[in-house]
Chains A and B, each alone.
Chain A
Amino acid sequence: MVPLSYYVILSAIVFTTGLVGVLIRRNIIIILLSIELMLNATNINFVAFSRYLGNVSGQVFVFFALTVAAAEVAVGLAIIIALYRSKSSINVDEFQLLKW
């Protein structure tokens, strides 16, 4: 049986990769993809703990996290489309109207 810490380490690595992706990429779509990476990392964590503690609540929570991720992707992509319509660019550096 694979030790639980292996799953937690895998989840940490994927989460940090998504975090670095959000911080260093300029394309908004890649930033949203990195957020999906982070959500998947937490899902791996939940399912691993659900297996090792024998409680099904972890998998139920993954179910809800999946639902929320789908809703967030829909709204996020709609926002990107609206942004592109007004600025014709999806480079994050160019959206600085709020900057003082």
Chain B
Amino acid sequence: MATLFFSYFAGVIVLASILVVALRNPVYSALALLIMFFHVAGLYVTLHAEFLAAVQIIVYAGAILVLYLFVVMLLNVKRDERYHAQYPLGAVLGITILTEVLLLIAQHSFSKETATASLGATDGTLAIEGNTETIGEALYSTYLFPFEVASLILLVAMIGAIILAKRDLFEAHN
């Protein structure tokens, strides 16, 4: 049953990611990415990370993708050539890297996956506490400093985005 869910989510994720790269219209690519985001959130739910699934949908599908669609519709570009002139080189490089990574994974034994005893213990604690509480306890105690730095990153990104996209920054007001 778990394998069925995983194979559905994984299949749609791979298909959607290939469509993102291959489609001609940028709006269609953004919509394929939306499908991918939803199925990644489904994959997180099967991995018992429900809070991350909700955050993924809210942030990625609800904010980042909407921003992309705004910019695509703002720029309103005509259709032009899809692929770079050097696309055979890119495809060969991609196939080479994928083959190497798959070979690396195939010859390495993931020994922890057979240790179901330890998995049972954490299953118990997660069932008691739930995913949100567990993340909250780790985020606000051990990872408090990175949390504050993340808020600084967002502030800097906001300032940078406003200044970069602003028109007539140094001209006098008429």
Contacts and interface: CB of A to CB of B under 8 A. Distances in A.
Chains A and B are bound partners: yes
Interface of A is mostly: helix
Nearest to B134: A56
A43 B40 contact: yes
The residue in B14, B20, B156 that gathers the most chain A C-beta atoms within 10 A of its C-beta is B20
A85 B72 CA distance: 14
Given A75-B160, A75-B161, A63 B13 contact: no
Interface in A16-64: 16-21, 23-27, 29-30, 32-34, 36-37, 40, 43-44, 47-48, 50-54, 56-57, 59-60, 62-64
Interface residues of A, number: 70
B68 A14 contact: no
Contact of B2 (A1, A9, A17, A40): A1
Nearest to A18: B17
A41 to B, nearest CB: 8
Interface of B is mostly: helix
Nearest to A12: B101
A2 interface: yes
Given A40-B37, A70-B59, A70-B154, A26 B84 contact: yes
Contact of A10 (B14, B93, B134, B150): B14
Interface residues of B, number: 85
A82 B165 contact: yes
A60 B37 CA distance: 19
Given A56-B135, A82-B164, A13 B14 contact: yes
Contacts of B84: 23-26, 92-93
Contact of A79 (B97, B154, B164, B167): B164
A23 B60 CA distance: 23
A27 B164 contact: no
A17 B63 CA distance: 23
Contact of A12 (B29, B36, B102, B142): B102
A95 interface: no
17 contacts: A6-B6, A16-B98, A23-B87, A29-B71, A29-B75, A33-B20, A33-B30, A34-B21, A36-B33, A52-B110, A59-B131, A66-B55, A72-B157, A74-B160, A75-B157, A85-B167, A91-B80
